[in-house]
Amino acid sequence: MGTAKRVSRASSRRQGVSALTLLCAMAILTAPGLAVGSAYAAPGAPSAPTAPVDPAPPAAAAPGAKSLEQVHKEIEDLYRQAGSATDAYNLAESETKAQSERIVEIAKLVVAGQDRIAGLKDRAGAAARAQYRSGGLPPGAALALSDSPSAFLDGAGRLRQGEKATTDLLSELNRTQTDLERYAKDAGAIWQKMEENRVKKEAAKKEIEDKIKAAEALENRLAAEEKARLLQLEQEAQYRAQTAWLSTGAMKDVKGSATDAGKRAVQFATAQMGKPYVWGAVGPDSFDCSGLTSKAWLAAGRGIPRTSQEQLRLLPKVAVKDMRPGDLIIYFDDASHVGMYVGDGAMVHAPRPGRNVTMAGVGSMPIKAVVRPDA
């Protein structure tokens, strides 16, 4: 009995130390003065995530019913499709914003062109009135009637200059009118694109809502124990993927240190942990995946594209071995998800609806590319 008590006390102490270690690690990760790249794990090779505890065997499903594993896959597929549609929505929104700004620029050009035409018409009218006052006599008649031939010749020279100026003025007037016609045509094309983007946004929004509702309906039909098991299935899948990724030696040469801006971006992103994923959200109370990364880098003083696909397209790519804290990791072939590398094989991200901003292994999902906002 005494031996059993000592074993029990030792086990309790070990659990207490483990819990304290975890709490300290989380406190370090979210501390304002985080020293990125040095406090995520013990020195040496990056640590793999702790293996999940083996769950109790699930109850047998009724004949014809879907297994929890099947439900898990179906929910994950729905959320992945919602993620793709979310990025399509965000992309259409950003394009619409750019097109709206271009419409404003064109409107300013049109106003300036109209003012220019009004000024040119005034000058043309003044030239016509001056010519009328001169009598409009033919050059030969004017020479015959002139008291001073030299004065006449001087006047004729000025007249030729005036005629050239009038010709130039009319040419400029025609060019300005042509510009206005082009502006109108450009504006019409942009309005058409804006309408197409509006249709795309509405279609993407409906797809997002339908996929999320379908996934939530599946999840809401589960009992509390099944929901807990579902979360565990997600964690197990992430653990297996991360372990397999680490076993390839992918982190062996990753030793990059964060820049000052990278540290600020990581500090912002990790400070959002626990806040819910909401599609299209950019804070402060909720985020989607690219909303989190774009806001984090904005807080670090660097504006980057809003969507994960645009982040992939426009930001410089770096090799995984050159990765440093603050870099963005783009996931899946369609670039529909993004997380931020924080060091030691971990990244912070907003996973999906129904989940909160959290940390996960860099290799817990298929990596498409790594991009650097502060190249």
Report, as residue numbers or ranges, the catalytic residues. 289, 337, 349
| Three-class SS state of 253 | coil
Backbone dihedral region for residue 278 (phi beyond 0: left; psi -120 to 50: alpha; all else: beta): beta
H helices of the chain, in order, are 2-30, 68-133, 139-145, 149-220, 224-247, 260-271, 289-299, 308-314
Cα 266 from Cα 258, distance rounded (Å): 9
> Could you tell me the two tokens for 44?
């040496």
CA 357 vs CA 41, 43, 278, 330: distances in Å: 20, 26, 10, 16
Question: Alpha carbon 2 to chain centroid distance?
Answer: 62
Angle at alpha carbon of residue 77, lines to 71 and 83, rounded to 5°: 140
Cα 58 from Cα 40, distance rounded (Å): 35
> Could you tell me the two tokens for 189?
């094309």
Cα 175 from Cα 57, distance rounded (Å): 80
Cα 53 from Cα 197, distance rounded (Å): 48
Cα 269 from Cα 266, distance rounded (Å): 5
- 367, β-bridge pairs: 331
> Could you tell me the two tokens for 367?
């990596």
The conformation of residue 45, written as its DSSP 8-state character, comes to S
Do residues 363 and 250 touch, judged by C-beta distance below 8 A?
Answer: yes
Backbone angles phi, psi at 338, to 5 degrees: -145, 145
**Long-range CB pairs of 131-140, under 8 A, 24+ apart, other chains included:** 131/162, 134/159
The conformation of residue 287, written as its DSSP 8-state character, comes to B
